[in-house]
């Protein structure tokens, strides 16, 4: 009954002078609490980031990476909080352990967690409250317990089913932490994580030093070494959050910003640039077809060329050049096509947003990558480690080939808009490789069709899943689905909405925010009036 909603319903957009938006009510409430205590949007966003590791562990944790783009005092900032691969890892090192591909679970696919350091870096530069005050809501949720929301419960159960084969000593702490009763918690039940509460306290009191160079770092590296992992104390101590310059594209009277590689936000700008001359209407069959084809090309090219910025052999300006975009647009025909990458030189995640009364707006996202990540928890800490190394390639000569001390191709992407040079909107759609597809579709709804933030999120979505395959929500008009099939697309209708992206949009006009939250999860807007 908790996951059944058989009748059509409608959410209204929310207006307020300040608000926090997240995929779970408790995370949004953590942001509002910090705003009420005198914190700014940066404080609130970090409070939400920390809270999300507790209340939505199915998508992120203390072993996550983080990316953020935000406006503060009218200026725009970008930070890359992704971690590198361990220095000692390589394709050959994996082969010596008996792996011919990067395993999805266990200690091997774990990269350096970057989120916790990103919290500190951004807070030190822009925060108003103390670090302990900012992390207090997360500590309280972990220590005293929190109420499980319906979508989190459903994802939790699905994750445990997926990982039922993950047994043995390396996984014992995971099952002890997240399935103490042998099952996922049900909606409305209270769940606590006292080990994570103590870890959050140590992080707050040491301003993350314990996590990267102190007692927590020792526990992480000792656990990794015990099970033959590659992550070491030296890898943790060497980690740094990067200040980056966002990439941009002028589109429909706004400037769209995405962070540069190693994330694939550039694919959003590439797809929008291809679609720009057509004034796409996603309520028409041709509009959906062309959008699918543009997304295919942008994502295929990025999968080939995007990697650690220090290892990029193709420049961002080449991927966004008028000549290359025109070549890719001209390749879009009236029928579906299985695309290969084109060389420009010729040849499971949480997203949240917050805006304060001063007009500061934050777009932030963090993730363990595949749901609970590696399925590995460091005993006694509540730290669930990521499996982000899965985004590397083992193909010889590939730009994104696995190597030690390298940031992988990254799926998590926060977005931002300015209008007439002023901050206008924070937006994002979480969900693995659905993310750039969700960005493109919600932006077309918002900027071309003129939908309000809530309607832009509510509209039906497609997800390209490779080759000529697309998953289309059942809420599409029948004539659109018929047209897509007739055009050569292999259309499927997913059984649920859990993989179709979960987004938030925050728009600011005339000194007031208008917010939309995701209907496909437990989306919530905590407004401050």
Contact 505, 455 (CB under 8 A): no
3-class SS letters over 52-106: HHHHCCCCCCCECEEEEEEEECCEEEEEEECCCCCCCCCHHHHHHCCCCCCCCCC
Contact 86, 230 (CB under 8 A): yes
Tokens of 3: 């996951």
- Main-chain phi, psi angles of 477, to 5 degrees: -60, 140
Give the integer Cα–Cα distance in Å for 47 and 71: 17
283 vs 161, 168, 439, 484, CA distance in Å?
37, 50, 17, 13
Strand 469-472 versus strand 490-492 pairing type: parallel
Task: Pick the catalytic residue from 300, 349, 381, 442.
Answer: 349
Does residue 349 have an active-site annotation? yes
Sign for the CA dihedral angle at 464, 469, 472, 477 comes to: positive
Sorted by sequence, the CB contacts under 8 Å of residue 213 that are 6+ apart come out as 233, 236, 237
Strand partners, 378: 383
How many of the other CB atoms lie within 10 Å of CB of 450?
Answer: 10
Residues labelled catalytic: 349
């Amino acid at each position: 009954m908790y996951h059944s909603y058989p009748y059509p319903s409608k959410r209204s957009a929310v207006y307020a002078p300040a608000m926090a938006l997240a995929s779970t009510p408790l995370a949004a409430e953590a942001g509002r609490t910090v705003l009420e205590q005198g914190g700014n949007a940066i404080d609130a966003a970090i409070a939400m980031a920390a809270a999300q590791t507790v209340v939505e562990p199915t998508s992120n944790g203390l072993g996550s990476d983080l990316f953020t783009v935000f406006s503060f005092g009218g200026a725009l900032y970008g930070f890359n909080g992704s971690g590198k691969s361990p220095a000692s890892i390589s394709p050959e090192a994996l082969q010596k352990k008996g792996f011919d591909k990067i395993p999805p679970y266990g200690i091997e696919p774990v990269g350096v967690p970057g989120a916790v350091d990103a919290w500190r870096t951004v807070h030190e530069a822009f925060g108003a409250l103390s670090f302990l005050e900012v992390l207090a809501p997360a500590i309280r949720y972990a220590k005293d317990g929190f109420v499980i929301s319906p979508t989190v419960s459903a994802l939790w159960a699905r994750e445990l089913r997926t990982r039922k084969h993950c047994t043995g000593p390396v996984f014992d702490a995971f099952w002890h932490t997240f399935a103490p009763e042998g099952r996922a918690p049900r909606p409305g039940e209270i769940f606590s994580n006292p080990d994570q509460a103590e870890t959050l306290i140590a992080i707050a009191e040491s301003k993350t030093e314990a996590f990267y160079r102190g007692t927590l770092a020792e526990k992480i590296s000792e656990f990794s070494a015990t099970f033959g992992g590659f992550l070491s104390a030296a890898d943790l101590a060497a980690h740094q959050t990067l200040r980056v310059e966002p990439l941009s594209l002028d589109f429909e009277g706004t400037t769209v910003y995405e962070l540069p590689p190693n994330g694939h936000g550039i694919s959003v700008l590439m797809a929008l640039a291809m679609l720009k001359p057509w004034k796409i209407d996603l309520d028409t069959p041709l509009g959906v077809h062309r959008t699918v084809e543009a997304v295919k090309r942008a994502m295929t090219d990025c999968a080939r060329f995007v990697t650690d910025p220090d290892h990029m052999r193709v420049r961002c300006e080449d991927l966004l050049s008028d000549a290359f975009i025109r070549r890719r647009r001209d390749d879009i025909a009236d029928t579906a096509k299985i695309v290969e990458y084109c060389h420009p030189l010729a040849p499971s995640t949480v997203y949240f947003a917050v805006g304060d009364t001063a007009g500061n707006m934050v777009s932030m996202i963090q993730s363990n990558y595949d749901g609970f990540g590696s399925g590995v928890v460091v005993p006694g800490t509540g730290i669930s480690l990521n499996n982000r190394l899965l985004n590397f390639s083992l193909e010889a000569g590939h730009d994104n080939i696995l190597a030690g001390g390298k940031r992988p191709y990254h799926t998590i992407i926060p977005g931002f808009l300015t209008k007439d040079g002023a901050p206008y909107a924070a937006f994002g759609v979480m969900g693995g490789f659905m993310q750039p597809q969700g960005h493109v579709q919600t932006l077309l709804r918002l900027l071309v069709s003129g939908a309000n933030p809530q309607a832009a999120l509510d509209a039906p979505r497609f997800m390209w899943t490779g080759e000529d395959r697309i998953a289309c929500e059942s809420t599409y008009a029948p004539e659109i689905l018929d047209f897509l099939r007739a055009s050569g697309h292999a259309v499927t209708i997913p059984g649920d909405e859990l993989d179709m992206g979960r987004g938030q949009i925050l728009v600011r006009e005339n000194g007031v925010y208008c917010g939309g939250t995701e209907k496909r999860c437990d989306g919530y807007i905590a407004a401050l009036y």
